[in-house]
Structure 1
Amino acid sequence: MENKRSKTKWLLGIIVLVLLIGGVLRWGVLQPYLIPSPSMEPGMAPGDHILVNRLAYRLWAPTRRDVVVFAFPKDLKRTFVKRVIAVEGETVELRDNKVFVNGDPIDEPYVKAGDYPPYGPEVVPEGKVFVLGDNRRESEDSREWGLLPKEYLLGKAWLVYYPFSRFRLIP
């Protein structure tokens, strides 16, 4: 009888530990977000659910091509998802439907084709990043509201987990 009680206590302890670790990961490290608009098409569509690593930018700096979730600079209660195009010290320019960083065109296989207006050149100052949506025609981004302060970054998008047919890692 005593052996059965100890096994039950041990099992309950394991269950509580798993739930506790899952809760810490869920609220501290990985957090789900919903893609509400077409600004990140074709890679992420409205209704896609993504997981975001909330520790990413506490541990290292954002780099070009990172897909980031951040507090919208004009309304900090809203969150946006965009791609980092240029980081501190880089010069960014949009012309001829291409993005140039430090004078060189960058390869962007993730961008939805379409025309978009020229921008820049602009040097990204310390503490900021330049972000764009992958669907440049349908994106409210750094072209409209300016460079993004790095302290507004909430995390790095990691995975599309729902709908299951779109399940994949985010490059």
Structure 2
Amino acid sequence: MQEQVDERGQEQDRERRGLLRIGLAEVYNPSMVPTLNPGDQLVVQYGAAVRPGDVVVLRHPFRQDLLIVKRVVERREGGWWVMGDNPLVENDSREFGTVPEEFVVARAWVRLRRPPGAGQRSPVALLSWLASALRPLRAAPVAAPASRLSRRLRAR
């Protein structure tokens, strides 16, 4: 039996059965460094409730076929304001504005680091990797945008 897929790419049959919609996503670019590195895997929940501080997978507003990973900063008129954790990469709401709610595909739960390369298979390297490979992604505190800071704080 072939399962039907809705416009968001989610399986309707699983949704009807009430099963958790969990999947894996891979990080390909450095926009979320140091939280996430290229090659990291994310355990995600499709259709989960989102709140500021969460790491989410979403459709790029200008290219809906492209999925990106960002941190939710706040809700604004028209959707969510999202940013990467890497301040040097501006492929986020600073570039494309707010992201409509329907573009948010999934919320990340856990980060899985890729195993060390073949040349780094020493016991110490493997133990170090094991200690950091599986890490829950908790909602991080989000700094207030500069427009919300008092003039006294901005003047310093």
With the shorter chain as reference, the TM-score category is 0.5 to 0.7
Q: Which residue of 1 aligns with 2:10?
A: none
Choose between structure 1 and 2: higher strand proportion.
1
Shift of 1:43: 1.0
Matched with 1:75 is: 63
| C-alpha distance in structure 2 between counterparts of 1:48 and 1:139, whole Å | 20
Of the three residues 14, 21, 35, the one matched with 1:43 is 35
- Alignment of 1:148 with 2:99, yes or no, is yes
Q: What is residue 33 of structure 1 aligned with on the other side? A: 25
Instruction: Select the structure with the greater relative contact order (CA < 8 A; seq sep ≥ 6).
Output: 1
Q: Which residue of 2 aligns with 1:160?
A: 111
- Among the aligned pairs, what percent are the same residue? 31
Post-superposition shift, 1:28?
6.3
C-alpha separation in 2, matches of 1:77 and 1:64: 24
How many residue pairs are counted as aligned between the two chains? 106
4+ long deviations beyond 6 Å: none
Secondary structure in 1 matching 2:91 = coil
Q: How does 1:115-154 map to 2 (within 5 A)?
A: 124-125=76-77, 127-154=78-105
- Following superposition, the deviation at residue 138 of structure 1 comes to 1.7
Counterpart secondary structure, 1:131: strand
Distance 1:161 1:30 in 2: 14
Which deviations, in whole Å up to 9, do the C-alpha atoms of 1:31-88 show, x marking residues without a partner?
A: 11110111001110011011110030xxx3x21101010011111111000001111x
Scaled by the length of structure 1, what TM-score is found? 0.57
Q: Which runs of 5+ in 2 are unaligned?
A: 1-13, 116-128, 139-156
* RMSD between superposed Cα atoms in Å: 2.0
Structure 2-normalised TM-score?
Answer: 0.63
Aligned to 2:152: none
Q: What amino acid does structure 1 have at the position aligned with 2:98?
A: L
Q: CA deviation at 1:136?
A: 1.7
3-state SS of paired residue (1:144): helix
Q: Indicate which of 47, 54, 74 corresponds to 1:66.
A: 54
Q: What's the offset of the Cα at 1:160?
A: 1.2
Q: What amino acid is aligned across from residue 100 of structure 2 in structure 1?
A: P
